[in-house]
A and B are shown apart, each in its own frame.
Chain A
Amino acid sequence: MIRISILILICIILIIWAAPLLIRFDPMQTDASNTLLAPSPKHLLGTDYLGRDVLSRVLYGGQRTLIITSLAALAGLIIGVGIGLIVGISSPLIAALLMGVLNALLAFPPLVLALVTLTLLGQSDAALVLAVGLAQTASVAQVMRAGVQTILIQDYVLAARAQGATAWRIIYAHILPGIQSTVLVYGVIVFGYCLFNSAALSLLGLGSAPGIPDWGVMLAEGRNSFRAAPWVAFAPGMLITIVILCLNTLVDNLNQC
């Protein structure tokens, strides 16, 4: 299962980035005489309500969706791991204070946090990345703190301390290598959440500028013409689903390893 998931993910990424070689239509090119065409040899996935080729849009849109999701996941992981480290190594009082704030943050569902961030920052690509990423930081920090604490009570850390190792040395030589696998597994989980949330925000009309293809935006546009032309929403809908399904399979199997 794990091999199939990785294979599917790699294929999707390759096809998306090989898009310029594979497709004949400009994803932004409208064609008023060929709107809502059913899939055919010319337009493999049909055309949308403005006559744009769905295949080229879903591939170019995939680039955008996956880049935004990756940046968001990376931002969430880096900030979350940072906070987790600080909470893990700081004095009990400061740690308790920070944990209180983290717990309060965890009381807001990630999508709601992302919505609030977008209210504050306005709508732009950078805001979208930050909103989706920041929404994950509290849970990342919580997981990392637990990881850091289990390492800190190990004898080899105590020995390093006794030898006079600095905090930076302990972080660099003991904690970071120790939480590597946790970061990796949790990174895949966070990526899945970020994909779900960034597509949801685009779908809700809070993502990119209209027109620029993106799986969430395409899903929103496709929903409007779903009865007449279900294929428009079908392509992005299925792709988001397949990617998340593969990621979840990956996580389940990584956890068992």
Chain B
Amino acid sequence: MEKFKTTADLETFRRKITSVRPAPKISITISVNSSCCILRGSKTVAAAFKDELESQGLNGKIEVLHTGCLGFCEIEPVVIIQPANILYGKVSRKDVKEIVARTVKNGEVLERLLYKDPVSGEKIRGKGNIPFYQKQMRHILGRNEVIDPRSIDDYIKAGGYSALTRTLDGIAPTELVNMIKESGLRGRGGGGFPVGLKWISCRDAPCDDGIRYVICNADEGDPGAYMDRSILEGNPHSVIEGMIIASFGIGAGEGWVYVRAEYPLAVEHLNIALSQALNYGLLGENILGSGHSFSINVARGAGAFVCGESTALMASLEGKVGRPRSKYVHTVEKGLFDRPSSLNNVETFANVSLILEKGVEGYREIGTEGSKGTKIFSLVGKINNTGLVEVPMGITLREIIYDIGGGIPGGKRFKAVQTGGPSGGCIPERLLDLSVDFDALKEAGSIMGSGGMIVMDEDTCMVDVARYFMNFLKGESCGKCVPCREGTRRMSEILERICLGGGEMEDLEVLEDVCEYLPDTALCALGATAANPVLSTLKYFRNEYTEHIKQKFCRAGVCKTLFRYEIDKDLCTGCTLCSMQCPVNAISGERKKAHIISADVCSRCGICYESCRFGAVKIIQTGAAV
């Protein structure tokens, strides 16, 4: 393939491939190229399809598309058959023969593979009719569905890089950065800083040798968030396109993607995409004849949460220990190698081409006054429809959790939703009608963060959640500043003590004290927001703290020393399942008669509670720490 020399070359090529590759009569879309799908066996399904189509002599007559993540992780691997618009979920290797024989050849619908709505119990046929997708606005993730992430041609065919050609053809760099500013796009990594302003300051920052950097933050460290991984795995070119446009606006010649090493598939797809873009002349010297040159390097992270912070990330890129520095000189002025650097998140870059395609006005129509556009959330935890959801800013939490997420599984009661990772907070049921945008979430004591949304039900202990986050932050604090290093450690100790049953009421005051000082004194955002998980749980779930301290009881059955298991005699059928599974032989009883748990022997591992099919194992208050 020859390099495109001008923007016109690229547009000619786009027309050529769209006409040469018309939509075939039947196409099968399989979500293969994503870590979660592979985990669910998508590769074997894809291989089975290949074999089956070959043996049926259908090779070449049917287009098979291996896409990245389709978002609905609960029912992966997903197979979509067009134009009949049939979506099959949880497809296994064994189903393939039947799908090809009946659906592909004869157009029959296999009822058993259709998606079953957990609320109504109805079987639903097409993707558009599934409630999970109905309320979403999939501007960014939607493109995953028509693209094989390993093919740049697919991306171009789907309209990719048209925002780039439009930019290079007729938009001046100053005009471009002003457009981004006007669009109201705010950083999707967590801080929510206006992207346009950042680009303008980076562009205007004085620089002796004229070298500026565009950096993509793909160090998605927030536990519970994986939208950046999904974009990089499913549509890496959208990020590359955003970065090239940014570099044009800022006047940067070099770019970096700092990606987590825990995401090997994302790194692989990114590298493939970069070499394809380079081959097509979309990266390198004199891009499409515009005179603008830009190259992108990939750096793998080495497993440090704090490296998601801008100055720490840049230190890490320089090969140093990833410790943040105080930001009296901003990174847009002196960042990587002391040169002006603009750091944006993966999702932010994916939004850039969308703004250019829709136009500033079109983009501003989505979202609320202060937060424009859509946001991707990873809806996980105790929820029926786990997956990645892309919603317009301003939607309520209730809509996300109940309409899109399908509610809480197993008839359990909703307790809280946690947003923003370790820097965020827990939002209780009474605030579910809160509209989701940067400012409203902050007011509620949480943050938007990078988009993790972890749903918790009655089996989740909120003190334990606070302890979990504090433990996480304690381990990830880089240790440079005292407030964060010592503050997180002390809070973790106190929370650990409360969870073990040794807490005092004064502990809560100490916690509140530390929480008050931390945000004002910590060096970087990790420490400044470290109080949020504790503050929000103390604010909304204080009763759980007092219950742990005064009654020595963890009603969720999580804090092991603060409860015991007991078998309800009336519900136990004597099936012996629990006694067979118990690793410490604490359960005794005859067949078909009620069993008994010996509290002295029981290690409270929870196997019996988990395995009992009749709900006979109960959590009982002991009144004192065991």
A, B bound:
no
Q: Which residues of B contact A (CB under 8 A)?
A: none
Q: Footprint of B on A, CB under 8 Å? A: none
